[in-house]
Structure 1
Amino acid sequence: MKKLLLILMFSILSFAETLNVGDTFPTITLDDQFEKTHTISLESNKVLVAYDKSMSTILKEFLLAKEDDFLTKNKTVYIGDISGMPSLISRFFAIPKMKKYPFSILFLDDKNRNAFSKKEDFISVYTLENGKVKTLTHVSSKEELENLFK
């Protein structure tokens, strides 16, 4: 019984840890605003994670100024955390509005929302190389986003 409790405790703790530089990027499957399921590819170069509305707005404005296939061409994934939003608001207002965007926004769910580094009022940017986290930076402006893709 003690072994079972220890295994369970370590499983929970290891799942709750955030990704750090040098970590292998886990296989994560998320749904987007079009109800399409995506598995983040180990061939992705960047993963952008926005945790609040203001950072999502900056990221959205940055992407809307780019070509429709900007994320695909740059092997980049955009993840948004709408878990704190009331489900009625997300279902009837936010997600239908997001369906107008020419790019996918993957949504964090309860089982993996703590996997990513969250810094208040910043977008977390994971740069990946060979399936591992090469760098983790936090940006908060369109200019900083632009510099990431130069």
Structure 2
Amino acid sequence: MKRWMLLGLALLAATVQALETGERLAPWTLSDQFDQPYTLDDQLHVLLVARSMDGAKLLGAALEGRPKGYLEARQALFVADISRMPGLIGKLFAIPAMRDYSYRVLLDREAQVVPQYAAPQEGVLWLQLDQGVLRERKVFTDAAALRAALEQVAP
């Protein structure tokens, strides 16, 4: 019983501490699928976040046929929460497969970044940024809609 209460309080705290519009994103550094680090900076305009494999697949479908560097040209990046993925599966299969993607995937291996954005379990969270400050948040559950939104971002 005590364990469930602690879990409930932790979930409530995570919800309360979710980033709000007008707030500055806390700085962080994550490595991508090539183990190359990226540190959040004020140049980023769009942060795409997925907490599940389905969300990651949705982004993949939205980017299908797009050239390498498509997201970066739009000053956009993708963060995937892979903290629930078994380490051996990630190391042997999932992360090597991601190296074939035409876009960079920042890997939140220990759920250090994604939880602060209160990303939904399903879909892709879109955080619109201006100089590191959150201006708008949207959730996409449709690849065509996400693709259309990305097309509206000027490269």
TM-score, with length taken from structure 1: 0.84
Partner of 2:121: 120
Judge conservation of contact 2:63–2:147 (CA < 8 Å) in 1.
no
Partner of 1:144: 145
Deviation at 1:56, TM superposition (A): 0.6
Deviation at 1:130, TM superposition (A): 2.1
Judge conservation of contact 1:18–1:116 (CA < 8 Å) in 2.
yes
In percent, how many aligned pairs have the same letter?
A: 23
Partner of 1:110: 111
Deviation at 1:145, TM superposition (A): 0.8
TM superposition outliers: structure 1 runs of 4+ over 2 Å:
109-113
Judge conservation of contact 2:47–2:128 (CA < 8 Å) in 1.
yes
Partner of 1:53: 53
User: Residue deviations 1:80-119, cap 9 Å, x none?
Assistant: 0111010000010100101111221001133333212221
One-letter identity of the residue aligned with 2:88: L
Q: Does 1:20 align with 2:20?
A: yes
Partner of 1:95: 95
- RMSD, aligned CA: 1.7
Deviation at 1:146, TM superposition (A): 2.0
Q: Does 1:80 align with 2:80?
A: yes
Structure 2: where are the runs of 5+ without partners?
A: 1-12
Larger deviation, residues 79-88 vs 17-26: 17-26
User: Residue deviations 1:49-85, cap 9 Å, x none?
Assistant: 0111111111012223212111111000100011101
One-letter identity of the residue aligned with 1:56: A
Structure 1: where are the runs of 5+ without partners?
A: 1-12
Judge conservation of contact 2:31–2:38 (CA < 8 Å) in 1.
yes
Q: Aligned partners of 2:67 and 2:111: how far apart in 1?
A: 32
Partner of 1:38: 38
Q: Aligned partners of 1:72 and 1:140: how far apart in 2?
A: 22
Deviation at 1:30, TM superposition (A): 0.4
Judge conservation of contact 2:49–2:114 (CA < 8 Å) in 1.
no
